[in-house]
Structure 1
Amino acid sequence: MDLHKANGAENGVGRESQNGQVSDLRLFVGNFVHSTKSDPLVMLTDTVLGISSVNIEFLEPIEKLDQIKATYGISDEDVTYMNDSQFMIPGLIDTHIHAPQFPNNGLKLNLPLLEWLQGYTFPTEAKLSDESYARQLYPRVVDRLLSNGTTTACYFASLHLPATKILADIVKEKGQRGLVGKVSMIRNSPDYYRERSLEESVKENEEFILYVRSLNSPLVLPIVTPRFAPTCSQEQLEALAQLAKNHQCHIQSHLSETRPELAWVKELFPWSESYTDVYHKCELLGPKTVMAHGIWLDEAEIKTLKETGAGISHCPNSNMSIRSGLCNVRRLIDSGVKVGLGTDCSGGYSSSILDSIRHAVQTSNTLTILDGDHKHLPLSEVFRLATLGGAEVIAMDDKIGNFEVGKEFDALLIDVRAVDSPIDSEENDTLEDRIQRFLLNGDDRNIMEVYVSGRKVHNRNAKRKT
Structure 2
Amino acid sequence: MMSSAIASVFRGTIIHSLELETVQILHNAALGVSHLGSIVFVRPDVDTDDKFNLIQQEYGFESNKVVNLGNKFLIPGFIDTHAHAPQYHNAGTGTDLPLLKWLEKYTFPVESKFRDLSFAKNVYTKVVDRMLKNGTTTCCYYATIHLDASLLLADIVTERGQRGFIGKVCMDRHSPDHYVETTEDSIRNTRQFVEQLQARGNPLVQPIVTPRFAPSCTDSLMHDLGKLARERNTLVQSHISENLDEVQWVKSLYPNLNSYAEVYKHFDLLTNKTIMAHCVHLSDQELDLFKQQEASIAHCPQSNFTLGSGALDVRKVLSKNIKIGLGSDVSGGYSASLLSAVRDTTKCSNAVLFGDRTHKTLGYEAAFYLATVGGSKVVCMEDKLGNFVEGKYFDAQVIDPYVQGGPFDVFADDTPKDIFQKFIFLGDDRNVNSVYVNGKKVI
TM over 0.5: yes
Which is further off, 61-70 or 278-287? 61-70
> Equivalent of 1:58, from 31, 41, 47?
41
Q: Secondary structure at the match of 1:428?
A: coil
Distance in 2 (CA, whole Å) between partners of 1:219 and 1:73 is 29
Contact 2:20 2:365 in 1 (8 A): no
Give how far 1:74 is off: 2.9
TM-score w.r.t. the length of structure 1 is: 0.92
Return the letter of the residue paired with 1:78.
K
Q: What corresponds to 2:384 in structure 1?
A: 399
Q: Secondary structure at the match of 1:97?
A: strand
Give how far 1:270 is off: 1.3
Give how far 1:72 is off: 4.0
Q: Secondary structure at the match of 1:83?
A: strand
> Equivalent of 1:183, from 154, 163, 169?
169
Q: Secondary structure at the match of 1:377?
A: coil
Distance in 2 (CA, whole Å) between partners of 1:301 and 1:200 is 32
Contact 1:110 1:322 in 2 (8 A): yes
Q: Secondary structure at the match of 2:433?
A: strand
Return the letter of the residue paired with 2:55.
I
Contact 2:6 2:61 in 1 (8 A): no
* 1:169 matches 2:166: no
Post-superposition CA distance 1:209-234 (Å, at most 9, x none): 11111222110000000000010112
Q: Secondary structure at the match of 1:324?
A: coil
Q: What corresponds to 1:36 in structure 2?
A: 18
Distance in 1 (CA, whole Å) between partners of 2:111 and 2:59 is 52
Q: Secondary structure at the match of 2:341?
A: helix
Q: What corresponds to 1:365 in structure 2?
A: 350
Distance in 2 (CA, whole Å) between partners of 1:273 and 1:244 is 24
Contact 2:6 2:32 in 1 (8 A): no
Q: What corresponds to 1:347 in structure 2?
A: 332
Contact 1:22 1:52 in 2 (8 A): yes
Give how far 1:40 is off: 3.4
> Equivalent of 2:237, from 248, 252, 274?
252
Return the letter of the residue paired with 2:425.
L
Contact 1:222 1:249 in 2 (8 A): yes
Distance in 1 (CA, whole Å) between partners of 2:371 and 2:22 is 11
Q: What corresponds to 2:138 in structure 1?
A: 152
* 1:48 matches 2:30: yes
> Equivalent of 2:127, from 141, 146, 166?
141
Post-superposition CA distance 1:307-366 (Å, at most 9, x none): 111110000000000100011111111111111000101001000000001111011112
Q: What corresponds to 1:22 in structure 2?
A: 4
Q: Secondary structure at the match of 1:286?
A: coil
Contact 1:40 1:383 in 2 (8 A): no
Give how far 1:73 is off: 4.1
Give how far 1:271 is off: 1.4
> Equivalent of 2:54, from 67, 90, 95?
67
Give how far 1:368 is off: 1.2
Distance in 1 (CA, whole Å) between partners of 2:354 and 2:252 is 34
Return the letter of the residue paired with 1:139.
T
Which is further off, 404-413 or 62-71? 62-71
Distance in 2 (CA, whole Å) between partners of 1:130 and 1:429 is 51
Q: What corresponds to 2:118 in structure 1?
A: 132
Contact 1:157 1:182 in 2 (8 A): yes
Distance in 1 (CA, whole Å) between partners of 2:221 and 2:147 is 17
Give how far 1:120 is off: 0.7
Distance in 2 (CA, whole Å) between partners of 1:71 and 1:226 is 51
Q: What corresponds to 2:289 in structure 1?
A: 304
Which is further off, 417-426 or 58-67? 58-67
Q: What corresponds to 2:215 in structure 1?
A: 230
Give how far 1:192 is off: 1.0
* 1:330 matches 2:315: yes
> Equivalent of 1:121, from 90, 100, 107?
107
Distance in 2 (CA, whole Å) between partners of 1:335 and 1:23 is 41
Distance in 2 (CA, whole Å) between partners of 1:40 and 1:284 is 34
Q: Secondary structure at the match of 1:158?
A: coil
Q: What corresponds to 1:92 in structure 2?
A: 78
Q: Secondary structure at the match of 1:340?
A: strand
Distance in 1 (CA, whole Å) between partners of 2:240 and 2:379 is 16
Q: Secondary structure at the match of 1:35?
A: strand
Distance in 2 (CA, whole Å) between partners of 1:335 and 1:136 is 42
Return the letter of the residue paired with 1:155.
Y
Kindly, what percent of the aligned residue pairs are identical? Answer: 44
Give how far 1:71 is off: 4.1
Give how far 1:286 is off: 1.2
**Number of equivalences:** 438
> Equivalent of 1:264, from 224, 242, 249?
249
* 1:76 matches 2:63: yes
Post-superposition CA distance 1:389-414 (Å, at most 9, x none): 00101111111011011000000001
Distance in 1 (CA, whole Å) between partners of 2:347 and 2:43 is 37
Distance in 2 (CA, whole Å) between partners of 1:342 and 1:22 is 33
Distance in 2 (CA, whole Å) between partners of 1:422 and 1:348 is 21
Q: What corresponds to 1:8 in structure 2?
A: none
List alignment gaps of at least 5 residues for structure 1: 1-16, 459-466
Distance in 2 (CA, whole Å) between partners of 1:287 and 1:430 is 41
Give how far 1:83 is off: 1.4
Q: What corresponds to 1:207 in structure 2?
A: 192
Distance in 1 (CA, whole Å) between partners of 2:354 and 2:347 is 10
